[in-house]
Amino acid sequence: MGLIQASRGTRDILPDEVAYWQQIEATARDLLHRAAYRELRTPIFEQTDLFERGIGEATDVVGKEMYTFLDRGDRSVTLRPEGTAGAVRAYIEHKLHAQGGVQRLWYVGPMFRYERPQAGRQRQFHQLGVEAIGSADPRADVEAIALAADILRAVGIQDWTLSLNSIGTKADRQHYRDALVAYLQPYANELDADSKDRLTRNPLRILDSKDEKTLAIAKGAPSILDYLSAPSSAHFERVRDLLQRLKIPFAIDPCLVRGLDYYTHTAFEFKVDALGAQSTVCGGGRYDGLISELGGPDTPAVGWAIGLERLVLTMQQQSESLPAGADIYCAARGADAEAQALEIAQRLRQAGLAVEVDLSGSAFGKQLKRADRSGAPLSLILGEEEAVNATVQLKWLASGEQATLRQFELFEQISLLQEKIMLSKPAKRI
């Protein structure tokens, strides 16, 4: 019988790597809370219609990438390929608009797209995203962008670039679309197969093709920015002005159109060099058309999603390993000493310290080697002698400094110990 492995395009996140995920999640949760965003949890699968209507049938996501199946009741359901459609469905279904004001929502969780797996591209991947629903003000766009920038910085990613564009309103795009098709038509036979197909169905998407020849042709295309109406131009100008005030550097990219149909006005992407082809860690924009498209009241909104796998890959490439593991490693040998060690560990944990107990019963030499490897700054050692005298040996693993204390003294000195342990751990970046 062959061994069963994780399905293609999925992977296990093992404990060594989880430290990065936890750091991202804790950082994001804190920053989002400070910006008045509240968490929303929606189901992993939804009715297929939601994504067909909310993302658009002409997009790659709906056209090629969805995990769609009939359930046992013959209903067509789809594993969510992104978070916005579900968040908007929940917003409408629970009439969150009735609460008035702006609903600032965030989510994190697995998404599913049937893609060719490669570094930074999986079939089950994870996104952290925000949606600010209920404001048409350019400040909402900039607040959301600033939040993404802050999260990237807070997890140690400094060298991102922000690409920015405006794709105007649906009407602006209609004008632009005609001009674009007129420009591209003569090159029709030189475009890659996908783009040729898009010429009639979704010509704007040709601009963000990944095919080099197509890209070269797209470079000469008319710019959408020349087709914006006056109010659309004003919106975009305000966004740029506010970003400058917040000292968030950006570059205008008129070819940035994003994959999804419901976007209006501002579109943006954060990229990092470290990732090669899969360089986009965060994509987002304004989607004023989506809520009414899905049957809700006409409501403007803006949001983004960060791809967490790509963020973790970048962190792993950029930074030293994260501080992980216990504060104290507890080595003991002999039945009495082992029992006392267990008790001491429990009391130290109750006082807030992280304590790993060696359960091997092997020679002290071996236990102390494991203590060294564990990364804990301090080791406690209890042998027969310590058990009889109710003492404990302390060994600071970095300096080798050693001391013997009465066990009750150890408990009296817990806050001192905590301070010394904190000082001997690598500084946290946040």
Which residues would be at the binding site for ligand ATP (CB under 6 A)?
82, 113, 115, 120-122, 125, 127, 259, 278, 280-283, 305, 307, 309-310
Residue 300, token pair as written in the block = 């403007």
Q: How many helices (H) and strands (E) does the chain have?
A: 16, 16
Pick between residue 259 and residue 300 the one whose CB is nearest to ligand ATP. 259
The answer to whether the beta carbons of residues 259 and 205 sit under 8 Å apart is yes
In angstroms, give the least distance from the CB of 82 to ligand ATP.
Answer: 5
Pick between residue 52 and residue 309 the one whose CB is nearest to ligand ATP. 309
Concatenate the DSSP letters of all residues of 145-195 into one string: HHHHHHHHHHTT----EEEEEE---HHHHHHHHHHHHHHHGGGGGGS-HHH
Pick between residue 55 and residue 345 the one whose CB is nearest to ligand ATP. 55
In angstroms, give the least distance from the CB of 175 to ligand ATP.
Answer: 24
In sequence order, which residues have a C-beta less than 8 Å from that of residue 154 and are 6 or more positions away? 27, 31, 429, 430
Pick between residue 206 and residue 330 the one whose CB is nearest to ligand ATP. 206
In angstroms, give the least distance from the CB of 65 to ligand ATP.
Answer: 8
Pick between residue 83 and residue 377 the one whose CB is nearest to ligand ATP. 83
DSSP SS3 for 300: coil
The answer to whether the beta carbons of residues 270 and 146 sit under 8 Å apart is no
Residue number of the CB atom closest to ligand ATP: 307
| b/e per residue 316-345 (b: at least 16 CB within 10 A) | eeeeeebeeebbbbbbbbbeebbebbeebb
In angstroms, give the least distance from the CB of 281 to ligand ATP.
Answer: 5
Pick between residue 138 and residue 284 the one whose CB is nearest to ligand ATP. 284
In angstroms, give the least distance from the CB of 320 to ligand ATP.
Answer: 24
In angstroms, give the least distance from the CB of 117 to ligand ATP.
Answer: 8
